Amino acid sequence: MDKRPIGVFDSGLGGLTTVRELCHLLPGEDIVYFGDTGRVPYGSRSAETIVKYARQDVAFLRTFDLKAIVIACGTVSTTSLDILSQENPMPVLGVVVPAAQAAARTTKNGKIGLIGTQATIRSGAYERLIHSANPDAQVLSRACPLFVPLVENGRFRRGDIVIETVVSEYLAPLKEAGVDTLVLGCTHYPLLEGVIAAYMGPDVQLINAGAEGARAVAGMLEQTDALAPNPSGGTYRYFVSDRQEDFSRLASIFLGWDVTEAVGQVDISQY
Ligand code: DGL
């Protein structure tokens, strides 16, 4: 049993896909979330810059006494997981390993689509992990750099002509290639799940990296007997590096509860 909170971070809103799943799986856990909304997106930046930002994000989170840190960001997980794990005494978990394993287990025809940020696709991390779990799988990957800014601006709903056009433009080659499994390899993309599922059709299984990451965290806390004993439910605190208002509005819509009173602003350059 461990009452300390779990620290979760992302470059912006996307990590809330992990928070939402953690809330379902582990309702008793206290969570401290940091979204680097002032510097999003990370996915178009160099590996050096992503590591530098990730270290600052972790330094801020470590001002709390945490039992684990969750990198709820595909881009940071592919570039910085090993470094952050070595540099910090508590368990540091990412979203890429669990999502790659889920994809390798799920495919029936061996054709797996992968979408992510430019940094994630460039890293080749998903391909390596999928092939080590399923050497015969064929991975067709595509960077989708416009998805994150559209999500961060609230353009994630079905019926929104802009996001529907961009989704069909990016995903057409994967649909035509006949993938039966599509990895949403960036934690922002599950906010587009409705639009993507409608475009790809009912025969394509979507793998939600944020949710897979949360399941891995739940498994680790159970195995290490580190779950929190909070029968009345955990508390949630959110911090962002830009205006609280925009984050609060979109986070409240996405999570389904009002976060306004729980959001603070941080000068991340101080860390
Ligand atoms: N949430 C990030 C990820 O999972 C993407 C956003 C960004 O590019 O910063 O890769």
| Domain spans of the chain, in order of start | 6-94+211-270, 96-209
pLDDT in tens, 192-208: 999 999 999 999 999 99
Q: In one letter, which amino acid is 180?
A: D
* Residue 162 exposed, middle or buried by CB count within 10 Å (0-12, 13-18, 19+): exposed
Angle between helices 16-25 and 244-255 (to 10 degrees): 40
Q: For residue 229, what pLDDT band results from cuts at 50, 70 and 90? A: confident
| Fold for the domain defined by 96-209 | Rossmann fold (3.40.50)
The structure's pTM equals: 0.93
Per-residue pLDDT at 146 = 95
Q: Which residue has the tokens 């729980």?
A: 262
pLDDT for 176 equals 97
Predicted pLDDT at 230: 80
pLDDT of residue 267 exceeding 90, the answer is yes
* Catalytic-role residue among 186, 192, 251, 263: 186
Q: What is the 225 CA–ligand 1 centroid distance (Å)?
A: 31
Most ligand 1 atoms within 8 A of CB, residue of 8, 9, 11 to mutate: 11
Between CA 241 and CA 247, with CA 243 as vertex, the angle to 5 degrees is 90
144 is catalytic: no
Would you state the CATH architecture of domain 6-94+211-270? 3-Layer(aba) Sandwich (3.40)
Sheet holding 6-10, edge to edge: 92-93, 68-71, 6-10, 31-35, 236-240, 263-265
Backbone φ, ψ for residue 208 (5° rounding): -95, 105
Q: What average pLDDT does the segment 117-129 reach? A: 94
> Is 35 close to ligand 1, i.e. is its CB under 6 Å away?
no
Confidence of residue 233 (pLDDT cuts 50, 70, 90): confident
Whether the domain at 6-94+211-270 and the domain at 96-209 fall into the same CATH topology: yes
Q: What percent of the chain has pLDDT over 70?
A: 100
Q: Is the CB of 190 under 6 A from ligand 1?
A: no
In whole angstroms, what is the distance from residue 123 CA to residue 113 CA? 16
pLDDT exceeds 80 at position 26 = yes
